[in-house]
């Protein structure tokens, strides 16, 4: 019988972990052929004590990722040896429903490779491998491409039908993911009772003890579940004072609240935020257990604002050196063209679109460096608190990138962190399709920086245009409940100069501009770094799209050259011109042109003037307006250098009016001799004109009336009435003058002109002379001695129209002219003149006596006549 042999056998028994572990991982939820509809993670408490995980989080990053913002808050108590189930996102509708979970979240994990961390708080991890962070309770990197794992060895790859299992039912943790995990059919298990949990703060931004916080940052508070907040639910205290005057926004699920102070923080100060426990209430109705409606305690954390760093290399005005594309102003009454001038860039903000209309910035090598990217996306507190402030989360899950207009990499100088942080303000963002933003758009950004590295400086303007783009989730027109417009295009224009001073004056027709218009859609990304050239266009085309005026401080004639060129290949340029002259005066016009190569150019008149003629050749022309024309005339021209033609320019010719005097026409009036004629002065204007036809709208007025040598009377103007009084005696033609004036202008200044008109008068005489009675010097001739007796006849014949009527005397008798008294045969009477006669003193013996009848007939020159008679007797006897 053999003697017993004693042998020592060493058996290594791994003690169970002394902390909560990740015991099962499944990322294929809902995918094709998936076992379960949802991803899930299972936790296990291998210890003999209950562990309260309130305030912890589960954080996920892609296999090679460094962003840990996929963050699921955790809560409750896991008892000894219990399994705690966390339901996560779904990739579709395939698979079984999970058992009721302790917590449901939205992390969407890869089915085959990724990284997941169990963290003692809600602060997102940083870097690609935070497995050794003090607050990381457990860490698993799975699949072949994961860049971090415990023991630096990855757990095997699960699939849509296989989960990762921690060995020994979760009781093994050698800090070697490859050794500690195996795969198997998914088997979600929950033994921890489902507990009603009160809300807690899952994470904050800035993070606990965060540093280099933007001086215009917002405060983000993520709660574990949907909550309502009371008034005055927070306090933000800094050495610079309280910053509680703020706008507050929340996510659609009421889990995230964003506080945007209206006053910026001071550089380098440390601030403390307090969330008051009694002001936070979860939205569920199961609040029967203690502390299940409010925070368990006030939540307090602090952070430090970034140092000011070096100032920007140029004043903020540099960004608008080449012009303000839409004449934006800093006035809230123009909410859709609101100017913001920052050290980093200038922009026109559009309240209704929630995006910039344009962002303009200067770029040279002094602006950038090697600062690592830090995604400090946040609302812009410079947006009026009365407007919607676009949130950093508004683009999440939309399929659109938060697309920088002024790129982060254009401002990544390591000595100017605040300058870089300004590029992450949401006022600098537009929703860009990933293939636009990360494809040709990014390639153009990189190319422009290579130009500045070679010694140039560039003035850049970019912006969105149109409505409706296609991101990775399909076509959309708006985001954030309509607060943000998705553009149809993104555009950019860059003006490239050699480094120097007085930049506007150095722009010439050979200056290179680079302009692109890119569709805001998927499918345009390529592996070609120069693919941005597929979208080259002219600045003119960009201006037509954005309804803006780029590089407007550059002289127009140069603009018209460089803005019509593509990528520096420019045509000649001409610009609108103007000249002025006066009516009936010619004016020389010098036509100007610029050429990128200084070659001679040929001037071509495209449209001649409409109201004048053009003479001359080449650039030297003379414009002659048509007679009496005043107003605006134009002609159009362009130039060609034999290879390319310029734009067409318009020359505007202003012909200043020269007021011509009125043109009076003779008027005719009549009046009775001895009467007075009064008539409206306006009667004289009926046949007068203000001047040439182009002055027909002028008003003319009689200003005076005057007499002359042919007036034969007096004339006067009293008010609007003219009175003509002919002299007496007078009849026949007469005339007087009047002065007529207009109310015209010369060269825009009042310049009344006057002229003299004539009124032809006819003084009409229809009244015979006023013949008086005749008075002979003798009424009897005695003795009848047959002698001739001289008799004078006295009378007067005044006339209104004739100063000297013609009077004649005629004699008649009751006895024959040859009397029978003495047989004398001589005439018995003789008319000497109009006032003297000779009568024979004789009579017939057998008659009663002789009676001579003397008749005076007076006629004026108008043919009016009067007649009167008187008698002289030779009596029969004198008794």
Cα angle for residues 71, 74, 78 (degrees, 5° grid): 145
Please return the burial class of 878, using the count of CB atoms within 10 Å of its CB with bins 0-12, 13-18 and 19+. exposed
> What is the spatial distance between Cα 622 and Cα 556, in angstroms, rounded to a whole number?
23
**Is 44 designated active site?**
no
Q: Among positive and negative, which fits the CA dihedral 305, 308, 309, 314?
A: positive
The β-bridge partners of 490 are: 464, 518
Q: Among positive and negative, which fits the CA dihedral 67, 72, 75, 79?
A: negative
The β-bridge partners of 812 are: 853
The β-bridge partners of 576 are: none
Of all helices (H) and strands (E), which one includes residue 763? Answer: strand 754-764
Q: Which one from 44, 243, 362, 404 is the annotated catalytic residue?
A: 404
Residue 656 CA, chain-centre distance (Å), reads 32
Residue 652 CA, chain-centre distance (Å), reads 24
> What is the spatial distance between Cα 362 and Cα 494, in angstroms, rounded to a whole number?
10
**Distance from first CA to last CA of the chain, Å, rounded?**
237
* CB distance 225 to 255 below 8 Å: yes
CA atoms within 13 A on the CB side of 693: 3
* CB distance 469 to 403 below 8 Å: no
CA-to-CA separations, 553 to 56, 268, 406, 507, in angstroms, rounded: 57, 39, 21, 10
Look up residue 145 and give its two tokens. 């491409």
Please return the burial class of 640, using the count of CB atoms within 10 Å of its CB with bins 0-12, 13-18 and 19+. middle
The candidate with the shortest Cα–Cα distance to 763, out of 853, 676, 836, 837, is 676
Of all helices (H) and strands (E), which one includes residue 339? Answer: strand 338-341
Q: Which residues contact 878 (CB under 8 A, 6 or more apart)?
A: 780, 782, 783
Catalytic residues: 404
């Amino acid at each position: 019988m053999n003697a017993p042999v004693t042998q020592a056998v060493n058996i290594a028994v791994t003690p169970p972990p002394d902390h909560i572990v990740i015991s099962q991982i499944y990322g294929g939820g809902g995918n094709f052929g998936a076992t379960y509809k949802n991803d899930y993670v299972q936790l296990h408490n291998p210890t003999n004590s209950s562990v309260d995980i309130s305030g912890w989080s589960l954080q996920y990053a892609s296999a090679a990722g460094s962003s840990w913002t996929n963050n699921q808050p955790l809560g409750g108590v896991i008892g000894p040896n219990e399994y705690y189930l966390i339901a996560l996102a779904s990739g579709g509708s395939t698979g079984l429903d999970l058992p009721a979970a302790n917590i449901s979240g939205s992390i969407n994990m890869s089915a085959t490779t990724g990284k997941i961390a169990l963290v003692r708080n809600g602060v997102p991890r940083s870097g690609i491998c935070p497995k050794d962070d003090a607050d990381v309770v457990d860490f698993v990197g799975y699949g072949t491409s994961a860049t971090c794992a415990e023991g630096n060895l990855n757990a095997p790859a699960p699939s849509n039908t296989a989960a990762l299992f921690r060995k020994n039912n979760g009781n093994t943790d050698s800090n070697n993911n490859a050794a500690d995990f195996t795969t198997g059919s998914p088997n979600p298990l929950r033994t921890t009772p489902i507990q009603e949990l009160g809300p807690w703060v899952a994470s904050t931004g800035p993070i606990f003890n965060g540093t280099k916080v933007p001086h215009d940052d917002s405060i983000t508070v993520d709660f574990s579940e949907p909550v309502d907040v009371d008034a005055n639910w927070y306090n933000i205290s800094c050495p610079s004072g309280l910053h509680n005057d703020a706008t507050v926004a929340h996510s659609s699920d009421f889990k995230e609240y964003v506080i945007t102070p209206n006053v910026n923080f001071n550089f380098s100060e440390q601030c403390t935020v307090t969330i008051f426990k009694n002001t936070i209430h979860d939205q569920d109705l199961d609040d029967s257990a203690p502390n299940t409606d409010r925070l368990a305690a006030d939540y307090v954390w602090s952070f430090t604002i970034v140092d000011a760093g070096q100032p920007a290399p140029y004043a903020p005005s540099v960004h608008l050196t080449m012009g303000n594309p839409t004449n934006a102003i800093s006035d809230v009454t123009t909410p859709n063209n609101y100017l913001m001038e920052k050290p980093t860039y200038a922009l026109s903000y559009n309240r209704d679109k929630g995006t910039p209309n344009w962002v303009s910035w200067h770029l040279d090598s002094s602006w950038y460096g090697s600062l690592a990217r830090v995604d400090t996306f946040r609302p812009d507190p410079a947006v009026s608190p009365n407007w919607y402030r676009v949130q950093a989360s508004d683009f999440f899950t939309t399929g659109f990138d938060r697309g920088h207009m002024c790129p982060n990499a254009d401002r990544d100088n390591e000595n100017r962190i605040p300058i870089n942080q300004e590029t992450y303000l949401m006022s600098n963002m537009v929703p860009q399709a990933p293939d636009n933003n990360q494809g040709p758009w990014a390639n153009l950004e990189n190319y422009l920086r290579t130009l500045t590295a070679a010694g140039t400086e560039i003035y850049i303007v970019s912006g969105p245009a149109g409505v409706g783009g296609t991101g990775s989730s399909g076509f959309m027109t708006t985001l954030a409940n309509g607060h943000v417009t998705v553009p149809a295009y993104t555009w950019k224009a860059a003006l490239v100069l050699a480094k120097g001073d007085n930049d506007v004056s150095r722009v010439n027709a050979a200056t290179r501009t680079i302009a692109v218009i890119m569709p805001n859609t998927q499918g345009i990304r390529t592996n070609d770094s120069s693919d941005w050239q597929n979208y080259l266009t002219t600045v003119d085309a960009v201006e037509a799209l954005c309804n803006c005026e780029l590089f407007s401080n550059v002289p127009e004639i140069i603009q018209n050259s460089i803005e019509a060129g593509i990528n520096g290949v420019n045509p000649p340029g001409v610009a609108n011109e103007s000249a002025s002259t006066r009516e009936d005066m010619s004016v020389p016009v010098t036509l100007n042109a610029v050429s990128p190569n200084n070659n001679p150019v040929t001037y071509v008149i495209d449209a001649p003037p409409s109201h004048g003629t053009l003479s001359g050749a080449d650039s030297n022309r003379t414009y002659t307006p048509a007679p009496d024309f005043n107003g605006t005339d134009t002609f159009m021209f362009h130039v060609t250098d034999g290879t390319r033609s310029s734009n067409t320019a318009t020359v505007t010719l202003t012909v200043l009016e020269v007021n011509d005097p009125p043109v009076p026409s003779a008027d005719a009036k009549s009046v009775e001799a001895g009467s007075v004629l009064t008539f409206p002065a306006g009667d004289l204007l009926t046949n007068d004109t203000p001047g040439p036809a182009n002055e027909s709208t002028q008003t003319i007025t009689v200003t005076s009336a005057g007499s002359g040598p042919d007036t034969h009377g007096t004339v006067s103007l009293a008010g609007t009435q003219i009175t003509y009084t002919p002299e007496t005696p007078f009849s026949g033609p007469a005339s007087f003058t009047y002065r007529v004036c207009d109310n015209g202008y010369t060269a825009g200044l009042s310049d009344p002109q006057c002229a003299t008109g004539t009124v032809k008068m006819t003084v009409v005489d229809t009244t015979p002379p006023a013949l008086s009675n005749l008075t002979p010097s003798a009424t009897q001739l005695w003795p009848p001695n047959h002698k001739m007796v001289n008799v004078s006849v006295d009378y007067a014949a005044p006339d209104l129209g004739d100063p000297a009527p013609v009077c004649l005397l005629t004699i008649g008798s009751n006895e024959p002219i040859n009397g029978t008294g003495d047989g004398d045969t001589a005439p018995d009477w003789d008319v000497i003149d109009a006032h003297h006669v000779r009568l024979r003193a004789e009579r017939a013996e057998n008659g009663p006596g002789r009676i001579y009848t003397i008749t005076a007939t007076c006629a004026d020159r108008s043919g009016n006549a009067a007649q009167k008679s008187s008698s002289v007797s030779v009596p029969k006897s004198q008794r």
